[in-house]
């Protein structure tokens, strides 16, 4: 389960980052549409977000520093969920641009509940990996970090031993 969670979350970040970085102008429009950042921060966020997503994806794909990358993933997803929720509450009509695109859309095209549920599901993958970061086919596993339980080591977690 852990390996699938790690590779699944890696795919989310790699796809999301690649789609954003391939169209930086649209990513700028998407970040600006949330209307929460001062104009001076829109461009740095629009540039930095896809780079951060790609970095998270690559680290997860390799299975390196999995617990810490998962913590960062959950924090980033929490920020994205909060951004989507504030747009919904404020009555903005935008596409989040989470997987490319983004920006203003017609009010009947918004999908805030689905976007929040999707990102919450991705966050659950991250939480799983925070608790159980050592997975098969990972750099963490090859390094033999004995302080981190393997996928099938339920006893150590149940007893509070890591």
Find, among 19, 17, 35, the residue nearest to 88 by Cα.
35
Rounded mean pLDDT, 14-41: 97
Q: Contact at 8 Å (CB) between 53 and 119? A: no
pLDDT tens string 79-122: 999 999 999 999 999 999 999 899 999 999 999 999 999 999 99
> What is this structure's pTM?
0.86
pLDDT tens string 135-158: 988 998 888 753 544 444 444 444
- pLDDT at residue 161 above 70? no
Q: What's the pLDDT score for residue 147?
A: 52
Q: What's the pLDDT score for residue 157?
A: 46
End-to-end CA distance of the chain: 18
Q: What's the pLDDT score for residue 145?
A: 59
- DSSP letters for the chain: -HHHHHHHHHHHHHHHHHHHHT-HHHHHHHHHHT--S-HHHHHHHHHHHHHHHHHHHHHHHHT-SHHHHHHHHHHHHHHHHHHHHHHHHTT--EE--BTB--EE--GGG--HHHHHHHHHHHHHHHHHHHHS---TT-HHHHTT-TTS--TT-HHHHHTT--
* Higher per-residue pLDDT: 146 or 4: 4
Q: What's the pLDDT score for residue 154?
A: 44
CA distance 92 to 106: 10
Q: What's the pLDDT score for residue 34?
A: 97
pLDDT tens string 55-86: 999 999 999 999 999 999 999 999 999 999 99
Burial category of 10 from C-beta neighbours within 10 Å (exposed 0-12, middle 13-18, buried 19 and up): buried
């Amino acid at each position: 389960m852990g390996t699938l969670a790690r590779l699944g979350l890696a795919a989310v970040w790699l796809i999301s980052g690649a789609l954003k970085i391939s169209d930086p102008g649209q990513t700028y429009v998407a970040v600006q549409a949330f209307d929460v950042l001062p104009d001076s921060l829109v461009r740095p966020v629009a540039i930095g977000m896809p780079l951060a997503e790609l970095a998270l994806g690559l680290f997860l794909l390799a299975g390196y520093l999995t617990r810490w990358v998962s913590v960062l993933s959950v924090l980033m997803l929490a920020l994205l969920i909060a951004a989507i929720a504030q747009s919904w509450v404020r009555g903005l009509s935008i596409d989040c641009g989470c997987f490319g695109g983004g920006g203003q859309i017609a009010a009947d095209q918004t999908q805030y509940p689905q976007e929040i549920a999707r990102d919450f599901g991705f966050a659950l993958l991250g939480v799983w990996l925070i608790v159980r970061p050592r997975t098969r086919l990972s750099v963490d596993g090859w390094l033999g970090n004995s302080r981190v339980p393997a996928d099938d080591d339920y006893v150590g977690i149940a007893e509070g031993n890591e």
